[in-house]
Structure 1
């Protein structure tokens, strides 16, 4: 079994007592270095009725360079637009992932907008991390009869640079996980363990923006017209669902993401099934990111602590933020920020070895476009 595991550092954030905007939890943060070199978290803050905002917090470190806590700075986004609000007064801006897109010299936030039609991928941009301008909902042209626009879609993140598409053309790309009817883990759990995975409707997808790079402005990154399956559930720990976790970040081995996988708990009741959200590592080719070089056979982080086993949604570790520790001259160290049972935020450390374990799996050829 692989020794490639995450080492927990601490719980870094929990709901602030007396703060009505956090009464139902703080979770699933983006993590990104600001223009000042400091690390900022953008947690999902949940008020009564599952009404979510995206906050801003500065990460505090001890003398050894390990994160120890946060300083709250305010709100980055709260529901305002028609695609973030519902007629009954509910709504939400949820689960952000933020990337500094180098050619644009802007930060791009991909987040989940809780629209009247269901969750959708939305985008916003900023120059300083403190002031954000909405681009709108990401739009997707159909692919081979698959309609991405009129289905729920979550877990989006954008690459920090243009990457080659299937034809070798350099384009900006978005990772996302459409939630087609019948593919939620609450639905797939009732299917046979030997079920056949629907590779079109149960995959993480990579979609490309057709705009030319020359003269491209941040608000142009909204239409995606070329789509390719990236990854499909393969291992038992992720057999019910996989989804993007942290934004892709360059490592010594290629583009790396920490993703989530869902399985059922073995002792669960047939009437009230229980799910377990764990985390794995996926490494994509630097030059051909549609190619998976490595993928965890076993989880690198799974619910074990009391605050991961019990909370708003039990048995959940949900990675969304990643920080490469260049500030410590340790480019092989990555700090992973993750939601704990949909109520708190933890941080764990990954030390990437010179060589990846041999047992890493990729998707079978038939699961690729």
Structure 2
């Protein structure tokens, strides 16, 4: 896919971690496009956003390497007069396809930073269709940290922003496409700076905007490769007769990422029914092992065949396309069936009604 820079002074460094959905007879991806700004020798250039009339305008900050007040931050950015800037800036770009394999990337950003909470970029979207509305949640990054914002569209031409729904530091949010127990549900991943490691939580909401009832349901397992550092949610869950399927990512102590599958209770997704020990996917191909951030497979988008079972359940034979990012540089495709994902989640564990929820969150199959 050829991706045009959002500013002629920018250079596209990667188009990766795509959200995915179907819209009419098209498959749509929302790519995270990361850009930088080349500089002449002895100078530093970084992409920045100027905010004008409620919108963001891409610009370049160009300074001398030895100018007063300039402090380089290795390859990640620079501080100028005490203000931090990152070396790359991300936005979300729409790509369209008729066959789900060959995509055409639109020339202009679909979602570009528009508020100070998005000053360092918008990243890693998920798309959840509810009725005729497509809800897009994404990570907003600024000097205040990273948080999760929400937008919506019905036509993928115009978009409405709804602001921050999970404050810093929280990301890897995915919305469930149907109510559970009368409430909307979400998976989210607050950062752990104190005790414990970053884990997957659930939350509930009456309206998709106000979230509460936060519960930690999945924690990294020390004895499972690729979960030594943290875990986080992936694409929106798939509904099956057995429960909700979630494809999530794990990060090893050495920085490598792999994908796992968990099965959550249909009526109360804070209950974990099963959780795979072996990765669904791990870095194997050269393009998954070598790149800007090596040894990474990271998924936040999938599509599937139209459900044929009752209440929107996907049958075991339903075809699933998993769109994922490799090495923070490229977008890739893997294919499976619902039966494959159920097998990757492992056998269901009978759950006693009186069993403490805490034990469920650390159970290993």
Q: Distance in 1 between matches of 2:271 and 2:149?
A: 26
- Paired residue for 1:268? none
- Paired residue for 1:129? 156
Change (3 A) 1:18 1:32: closer
Higher RCO (CA < 8 A, seq sep 6+)? 1
- Paired residue for 2:145? 118
Q: Please point out which of 192, 200, 206 is paired with 2:202.
A: 206
Change (3 A) 1:16 1:302: farther
Q: Distance in 2 between matches of 1:15 and 1:55?
A: 9
Q: Distance in 2 between matches of 1:361 and 1:312?
A: 38
* 2:227 pairs with 1:244: no
Does the Cα contact within 8 Å between 1:14 and 1:25 map onto a contact in 2? no
Following TM superposition, by how much is the alpha carbon of 1:351 offset from its aligned partner in structure 2, in angstroms? 1.9
Under a length normalisation based on structure 1, what TM-score does the superposition of the two structures give?
0.73
- Paired residue for 2:102? 69
Following TM superposition, by how much is the alpha carbon of 1:59 offset from its aligned partner in structure 2, in angstroms? 2.2
Q: Distance in 2 between matches of 1:340 and 1:47?
A: 17
Does the Cα contact within 8 Å between 1:251 and 1:332 map onto a contact in 2? no
- What CA deviation, in whole Å up to 9, does each residue of 1:108-165 have, x standing for no partner? 11100012311101111111122111100014xxxxxxxxx4x41111111111112x
1:1-369 alignment runs, 5 A limit: 13=1, 23-34=12-23, 36-48=24-36, 49-61=87-99, 67-73=100-106, 74-85=108-119, 91-102=120-131, 105-139=132-166, 149=167, 151-164=168-181, 170-181=182-193, 198=196, 202-209=198-205, 211=206, 220-234=207-221, 235-264=224-253, 274-326=254-306, 332-353=318-339, 356=343, 359-360=346-347, 365=359, 367=361
Change (3 A) 1:247 1:124: same
Following TM superposition, by how much is the alpha carbon of 1:251 offset from its aligned partner in structure 2, in angstroms? 2.8
Q: Highest Rg: 1 or 2?
A: 2
Change (3 A) 1:68 1:325: same
Q: After the TM superposition, which segments of 4 or more aligned residues of structure 1 sit over 4 Å from their partners?
A: 13-22, 327-331, 357-364
Does the Cα contact within 8 Å between 1:14 and 1:343 map onto a contact in 2? no
Under a length normalisation based on structure 2, what TM-score does the superposition of the two structures give?
0.73
Does the Cα contact within 8 Å between 2:135 and 2:152 map onto a contact in 1? yes
Q: Which runs of 5+ in 2 are unaligned?
A: 37-86, 309-313, 350-356
Q: Distance in 2 between matches of 1:230 and 1:94?
A: 24
